[in-house]
Amino acid sequence: MSEKAGQIQIQEQQQLQTLSPQQIMVVKLLELSKQELEERIRAEVLDNPALETEPNSSETEEVDESTEELEYRSSEDDSLGDYANEDDIPDYKLQEHNRSRGERVEEIPFSDTDSFYDVLKEQLAMQPFSEHEKEIAEYLILSLDSDGFLRRDFLPMIDDLVINYDIETDEAELERILSIIQEFDPAGIGARSLQECLLLQIKRKPDSPLKNIEQDIIENNMDDFTRKNKERIMQRLGLSEEVYAQAYAELVKLNPRPGSALGEAIGKNLQQIVPDFIVEKDEEGQITVSLNNWDVPVLRLSQDYKMLLEEYTKNKENQSRDNKVAFSYYKQKVDAAKGFINAVKQRQHTLMMTMNAIVKLQMPFFEDGDEALLKPMILKDVAEIAKLDISTVSRVSNSKYVQTDYGIFPLRFFFSTGYKSSENGEQLSSREIRRILQELVDQEDKQKPLTDEQIVDILKSKGYPVARRTVAKYRKTLNIPVARLRRK
């Protein structure tokens, strides 16, 4: 410390965690969909002559439920493969085959990289939030999927915040904080539906008669708009074909996926969902998990580049200046190719570890396909089994799909909060309670519909002791009116 002319200099030592370019590449690849990964691989092959694809080949990783644990299994052998010597083999690859069963896998801190969520957090830092409000806002931001949508109901989020983060809140506070996030850029972020997403974008436009028409179309005629029933919209709103065409031209410019780098225009066919995983039950009832990699190019080092690099390495001492420059170029390309190959393999490994953990936790569903068999499951549960960071599991779960014998589901479908029954301590799924509530209403006497108090008593008799306030909230999320409005 030194003092001079009334100024004080203070020297502090800070330890900052930074990611290497290799780690950043792994993070970026992890966020890609299957189609985007294929495009990324092809672009990398075109850019790097030291990188090649193997014709008509694919790698498959599977999991068998009959084993003691659902573990990642690589189809690679233990040879050096495309590596010149053992020093070139990445550490994670060596450790994966040699670690003990109970040993923890080192995890890359995915959450520290500059991501879509970080951009929103930067805008969050400019808000005059209290610490309590900031924690809730961060939770909401991390709950957005890769398209920038909030697809979770408030009620399970309230339970999750209390149980896992010791943060108490209510629907009104979540709604208020979410409305502020929806003012962030890009426009439409934080929407809970496509309709709300488009309305948020229209709201930011300058006031004009055309803006009012656009809002009326999306707010009151969304179904007809998506089905291109322009005559019905024109008749209902009293619009001429010219005015409707002007409004339509503006509406198709809106982005239905504000969180995605690539937006599609309204009116185009939605991109077909291609699952990242396949979970199947064989004839013997055993569950297998595999990556949907059948058409993803398998990478290898160029044999020509490997030979050139080996030749220059052998004659390193007797090289001209031009040869040294050539050697540096070859080595740079080979190192880049190895790094990309390793990043792709690390991505596949992380995906499999996550999916295996989900299957292990939700095995009854994958065996029978009954949604009622889904257990309460949060990110922390999957992260502990997969030996991954919670932020990593969140990234995978928000952007990936799985094909099962019962349909294609987003991974977030398998997550739900729960609470412990006061009678036997069993953890109950909020999803299961809502399902039973819906069944009770569907089967009730419509001349004497069940009140919330009666539903509470019935649920309690079935072993689901919930409060009347909870029943009212679940009924609201299911769009079920109060008893007097259900009477016929």
Give tens-digit pLDDT for 253-311.
888 888 764 333 333 333 457 788 999 988 888 899 998 887 788 888 888 887 877 77
pLDDT > 80? residue 80: no
What does the DSSP assignment read for 171-227?
HHHHHHHHHHHTTSSSTTTT-SSHHHHHHHHHHTSPP-HHHHHHHHHHHH-HHHHHT
Question: Do 124 and 138 meet the contact criterion of CB atoms below 8 Å apart?
Answer: yes
Question: Do 155 and 170 meet the contact criterion of CB atoms below 8 Å apart?
Answer: no
Q: What is the pTM of this model?
A: 0.49
Poorest-pLDDT segment among 20-24, 243-247, 267-271, 357-361: 267-271
120: left (phi over 0), alpha (psi -120 to 50) or beta: alpha
Residue 114: what pLDDT?
A: 45
Block residue for tokens 């998506």: 226
Rounded CA separation 127/138 (Å): 12
Report which of residues 157 and 11 the model is more confident about. 157
Report which of residues 321 and 444 the model is more confident about. 444
Question: Do 353 and 57 meet the contact criterion of CB atoms below 8 Å apart?
Answer: no
Residue 19: what pLDDT?
A: 62
Question: Do 344 and 41 meet the contact criterion of CB atoms below 8 Å apart?
Answer: yes
Q: pLDDT tens digits for 365-394?
A: 898 887 767 788 888 889 999 998 888 888
Q: Where are the domains of the chain?
A: 114-181, 194-251, 421-486
CA-based end-to-end distance of the chain:
81
Q: Please, which residues bridge with residue 7 across strands?
A: 4
Question: Do 44 and 358 meet the contact criterion of CB atoms below 8 Å apart?
Answer: no
Any idea which fold 421-486 has? Answer: Arc Repressor Mutant, subunit A (1.10.10)
274 contacts: CB under 8 Å, gap ≥ 6: 33, 34, 35, 292, 401
Report which of residues 244 and 159 the model is more confident about. 244
